């Protein structure tokens, strides 16, 4: 801080406040010499006066320090001469000595007062953070709004809340104070992400402020603009900035006429002939639907071998035999993508993934695979994606898992989700053919969460296994999820599912490996008779922690009756429930009737948001203290509530 360093300023502030306290005390002892100042209302008046004296002393010291350091203040923009500052400083130091109010000096309309306020601003703790660190904080604030590429591709217009937030956040940061403004304007990364469809003056301002930072541009081709006009606007703009691009997101809006859907990208693909040595991330989404999808061509892969992320939605891949090695690619998402024919063969997938040895994330959504492929047409060898840690597979009902998993292996996967819809096979039965390395991970898991989602054909039941990290009590090592879109077995297959359990749980028990489950969760399951719940819970005799969320009270009433049987979850020590789904008396009655050697130790009650998949961040509703004491703590003998 120039002539007065921060430690010296703090020392001066302490000395000034101590002196202010001493002066106030001396004044009171002089004026009220024979009065007990510890009694009311004198003690309150003393406290108020002491606080006011401290604030005045602190402000006087800070302003004096700022005036002494005035000539060293940065960012005075050279608009005020040094002699003017020297004169201003002398006058204000004299005014302070004469007792002029501090606010009169600070908020004066004189130009030099602006520099004074800048220097006062430099004394605040937040502005003593190094410029590099505060720049990183600003970047994280902005980057959090751009992280999700899928959401990012759905928000385009300035009126959209997501797009608007991405525009105004760096602007708002720069408007907090002059110090933050200089820090923000000096950080090009803060302005390097923008929508090409924002107003032209806004885009120009972001480009100017980005300085030499690599650009991340989102653009949209909308039907209302006309496709020829869209190409004329978008293609030249991106071509002009290709040399500075780091990420490009292009999304084609809805097209009413199917025949012209591929037209935009068939012309847009010409930009891949331009050099872009810094381009690392490409997210392209057309409005087509197989088989009417545009060709992506080879140029994207051939001319940009250093790409790290590729997201393709609704495109036709080129001849994959001509595909170069993509050694830098770590993330690949294919959605509604077809090969040279109107489908994608396992050989195509095999050929593509042999070019991506360093893949860490793979997502295959809604792909059209060739049907009725004989075993002699399977690839002769498998692709071992040794670095792939996150895998999401959404498979159609005519894809056989045996050839699929014979073609692709993920031996070191951490998070694996497979969704396989079938209108023929009973729920989860198709997963009996999962490869041994996935079975090994599942058998190590101690946590199993079963989500029913009754009546939801699109997002069907899920069985999620979680393996905890032995070296981190709160950490997760592996997550394996199996999902199906057929919640009820077809009529011809009813006999294949046990009738003595709720159907979803029965299918898990019959068709998926269980291992040693000690943590069991149920969510959004349909109602079932008490006898079915009992049989299901008998199968999990090692469970010590159970969670039950998002179920109607009709369902949980029968569940509570089942839990009243000591043979159901006999080792249960902790129970987590949804406040909205349980009747307190049902729960109390269930656990009061369990005469076990290991009684319930902990009861956790959550109030879940009814419309979201995660626990609500809103304040919880109160539970009556009488209800809590009578129904829970008094009867159950809980140690943790």
Question: What percentage of the chain exceeds 90 in pLDDT?
Answer: 20
* 109 plus 140 within the same structural domain: no
pLDDT digits over 107-133, tens only?
Answer: 888 888 888 888 888 777 777 788 788
pLDDT digits over 256-313, tens only?
Answer: 555 545 667 777 888 888 888 899 999 998 877 777 888 898 899 988 889 999 999 9
CA 225 to chain centre: 33
Q: Quick check: is 137 in a domain?
A: yes
Q: Quick check: is 71 in a domain?
A: yes
CA 239 to chain centre: 32
pLDDT grade for 376, boundaries at 50, 70 and 90: low
3-state SS record for 544-576 = CEEEEECCCHHHHHHHHHHHCCCCCCCCCCEEE
* 115 plus 136 within the same structural domain: no
Q: Quick one: average pLDDT of 187-205?
A: 90
* 14 plus 112 within the same structural domain: yes
User: Which residue bears the tokens 């979803």?
Assistant: 504
Q: How many domains does the chain have?
A: 2
Q: Quick one: average pLDDT of 359-369?
A: 87
Q: Quick check: is 587 in a domain?
A: no
Query: Residue 207: pLDDT above 60?
Result: yes
Q: Quick check: is 116 in a domain?
A: yes
Single residue among 96, 123, 150 that ends a domain in this structure: 123
Q: Which of 521, 518, 530 is nearest to 571 (CA)?
A: 518
pLDDT digits over 571-616, tens only?
Answer: 999 999 987 888 888 888 888 777 666 678 888 888 765 444 444 4
Q: Are 307 and 334 in contact (CB under 8 A)?
A: no
* 133 plus 119 within the same structural domain: no
Single residue among 140, 175, 192 that ends a domain in this structure: 192
Is pLDDT larger for residue 470 or for residue 160?
Answer: 470
Single residue among 171, 192, 213 that ends a domain in this structure: 192
* 91 plus 169 within the same structural domain: no
Q: Quick one: average pLDDT of 411-436?
A: 79
pLDDT grade for 151, boundaries at 50, 70 and 90: very low
Q: Quick check: is 627 in a domain?
A: no
* 74 plus 116 within the same structural domain: yes
Q: Quick check: is 17 in a domain?
A: yes
Q: Quick one: average pLDDT of 26-44?
A: 78
- Domain residues for the domain of 145 are 129-192
Direct distance between the N- and C-terminal alpha carbons of the chain, in angstroms, rounded to an integer: 53
* 117 plus 61 within the same structural domain: yes
CB atoms inside a 10 Å sphere around CB 463: 23
* 84 plus 140 within the same structural domain: no
* 115 plus 163 within the same structural domain: no
**pTM for this entry:** 0.77
pLDDT grade for 168, boundaries at 50, 70 and 90: confident
Position 56 scores a pLDDT of 86
Is pLDDT larger for residue 449 or for residue 492?
Answer: 449
Distance CA 530, CA 525 (A): 14
Q: Quick check: is 503 in a domain?
A: no
Query: Residue 68: pLDDT above 90?
Result: no
The mean pLDDT of the chain is: 80
pLDDT grade for 322, boundaries at 50, 70 and 90: confident
Position 228 scores a pLDDT of 47
Q: Which of 458, 364, 461 is nearest to 404 (CA)?
A: 364
* 70 plus 141 within the same structural domain: no
* CB-based contacts of 344-347 (< 8 A; 24+ apart in sequence): 344/317, 344/368, 344/369, 344/370, 345/369, 345/370, 345/373, 345/377, 346/370, 346/373, 346/377, 346/378, 346/379, 346/403, 346/404, 346/407, 347/377, 347/379
* 39 plus 141 within the same structural domain: no
Q: Are 162 and 142 in contact (CB under 8 A)?
A: no
* 11 plus 96 within the same structural domain: yes
Q: Quick check: is 55 in a domain?
A: yes
Is pLDDT larger for residue 137 or for residue 488?
Answer: 137
* CB-based contacts of 119-125 (< 8 A; 24+ apart in sequence): 119/66, 119/69, 119/70, 119/73, 120/62, 120/63, 120/66, 121/177, 121/178, 121/179, 122/1, 122/73, 122/179, 123/1, 123/6, 123/9, 123/62, 123/65, 123/66
pLDDT digits over 171-192, tens only?
Answer: 999 998 878 888 899 899 999 9
Query: Residue 223: pLDDT above 60?
Result: no
């Amino acid at each position: 801080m120039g002539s007065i360093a921060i430690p010296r300023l703090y020392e001066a502030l302490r000395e000034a406040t101590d002196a202010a306290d001493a002066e106030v005390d001396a004044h009171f002892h002089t004026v009220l010499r024979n009065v007990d100042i510890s009694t009311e209302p004198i003690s309150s008046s003393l406290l108020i006066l002491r606080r006011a004296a401290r604030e005045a002393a602190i402000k006087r010291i800070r302003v004096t320090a700022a005036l002494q350091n005035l000539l060293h203040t940065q960012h005075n923009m050279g608009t005020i001469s040094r002699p003017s500052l020297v004169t201003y400083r002398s006058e204000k130091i004299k005014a302070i000595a004469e007792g002029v109010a501090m606010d009169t000096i600070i908020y004066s309309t004189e130009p030099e007062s602006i520099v004074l306020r800048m220097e006062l601003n430099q004394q605040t703790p937040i502005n003593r953070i190094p410029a590099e660190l505060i720049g990183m904080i600003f970047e994280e604030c902005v980057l959090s709004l751009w992280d999700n590429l899928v959401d990012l591709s759905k928000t385009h217009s300035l009126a959209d809340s997501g797009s608007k937030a991405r525009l105004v956040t760096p602007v708002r940061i720069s408007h907090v104070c002059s110090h933050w403004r200089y820090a923000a304007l000096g950080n090009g990364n803060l302005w390097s992400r923008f929508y090409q469809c924002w107003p032209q003056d806004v885009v120009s301002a972001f480009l100017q402020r980005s300085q030499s930072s690599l650009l991340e541009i989102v653009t949209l081709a909308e039907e209302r603009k006309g496709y020829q006009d869209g190409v004329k606007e978008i293609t030249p703009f991106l071509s002009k900035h290709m040399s500075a691009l780091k990420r490009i997101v292009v999304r084609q809006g809805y097209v009413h006429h199917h025949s012209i859907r591929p037209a935009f990208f068939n012309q847009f693909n010409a930009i891949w002939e331009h050099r872009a040595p810094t381009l690392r991330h490409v997210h392209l989404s057309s409005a087509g639907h197989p088989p009417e999808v545009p060709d992506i061509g080879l140029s994207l892969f051939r001319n940009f071998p250093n790409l790290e992320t590729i997201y393709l939605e609704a495109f036709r891949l080129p001849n994959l035999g001509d595909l170069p090695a993509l050694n830098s690619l770590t993330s690949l998402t294919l959605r509604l993508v077809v090969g040279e024919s109107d489908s994608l063969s396992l050989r195509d997938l095999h050929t593509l993934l042999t070019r991506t040895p360093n893949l860490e994330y793979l997502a295959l959504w809604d792909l059209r695979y060739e049907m009725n492929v004989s075993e002699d047409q399977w690839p002769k060898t498998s692709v071992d994606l040794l670095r792939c840690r996150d895998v999401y597979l959404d498979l159609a009902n005519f894809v056989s898992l045996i050839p699929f998993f014979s073609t692709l292996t993920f031996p070191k996967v951490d998070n694996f989700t497979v969704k396989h819809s079938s209108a023929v096979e009973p729920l989860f039965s198709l997963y009996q053919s999962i490869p041994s390395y996935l079975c090994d991970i599942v058998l190590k898991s101690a946590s199993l969460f079963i989500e029913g989602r009754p009546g939801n054909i699109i997002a069907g039941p899920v069985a999620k296994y979680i393996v905890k990290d032995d070296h981190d009590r709160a950490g997760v090592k592996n997550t394996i999820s199996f999902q199906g879109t057929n919640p009820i077995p077809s009529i011809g297959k009813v006999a294949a599912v046990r009738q003595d359990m709720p159907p979803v749980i029965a299918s898990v028990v019959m068709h998926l490996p269980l291992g040693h489950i000690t943590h069991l969760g149920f969510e959004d399951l349909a109602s079932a008779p008490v006898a079915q719940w009992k049989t299901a819970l008998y199968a999990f005799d090692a469970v010590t922690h159970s969670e039950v969320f998002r179920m109607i009270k009709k369902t949980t009433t029968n569940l509570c009756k089942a839990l009243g049987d000591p043979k159901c979850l006999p080792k249960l020590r902790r129970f987590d429930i949804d406040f909205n789904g349980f009747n307190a008396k049902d729960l109390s009655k269930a656990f009061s009737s369990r005469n076990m050697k290991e009684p319930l130790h902990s009861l956790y009650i959550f109030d879940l948001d009814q419309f979201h998949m995660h626990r609500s961040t809103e304040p919880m509703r109160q539970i009556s203290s009488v209800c809590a004491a009578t129904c829970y703590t008094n009867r159950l003998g809980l140690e943790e509530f």
